[in-house]
Amino acid sequence: MAFDPGVIFDYWPQFLEGAALTVRIVAVALVGGIVLAAVITAASFIKLAPLKVLIMVYLAIVRGIPFIIIVFLVHYGLPFAGVRLPALTTGTIALTLFASAYYAEVLRATVLALPRGQWDSARAVGMSPAEAVRHVIIPQILRPALPPLTNYTMTMTKESSVLSAITVGELTYQGLVVQGNTFAPFEVFFVVAGIYWII
């Protein structure tokens, strides 16, 4: 069998549509995940045992089960609780939760790696805790946190393909649709793989 480039040219709008939705989902999950991770990280330093236990349980659960199970729990669990949302919304929520757990571990580790003297110095010159975080802690954790955050964002981008299982029309789902129409799986997923690599 010969490689059929016609599949690519005939269906490129569908591939682009799927790629655009993938980028949008990942962008929302990235922002939401970072915000949620920052809240989790800040809360983890509050000296309140039940809160610490709750955070550790959340991180252990989200990081300890496959992403597809998180997707199914959110997608089918919300209607079970009486909340009905579109698949795109539940998929994005699941990806945000997934990202937040990994981002939180990165932020927490980089904060813990800072010498205690940084906190003490900031407080000694009269900074409030919030000012210390903003002017002293955050500028120092950004550089060491960036490489692992980038790695997890790449992982999150690839994991977004799992959302095809709940019929979110992202890139992998569009590839499955095109493959069903053309019976050319190699050509279709060769293109899909290339687009993921570019993203």
pLDDT band at 3 (very low <50, low <70, confident <90, very high): confident
How confident is the model over 149-196, as pLDDT tens digits? 999 999 999 999 999 999 999 999 999 999 999 999 999 999 999 999
Measured distance between the N- and C-terminal CA atoms of the chain, rounded to whole angstroms: 29
How confident is the model over 66-123, as pLDDT tens digits? 999 999 999 999 999 999 999 999 999 999 999 999 999 999 999 999 888 887 788 7
H helix and E strand count, the chain: 9, 0
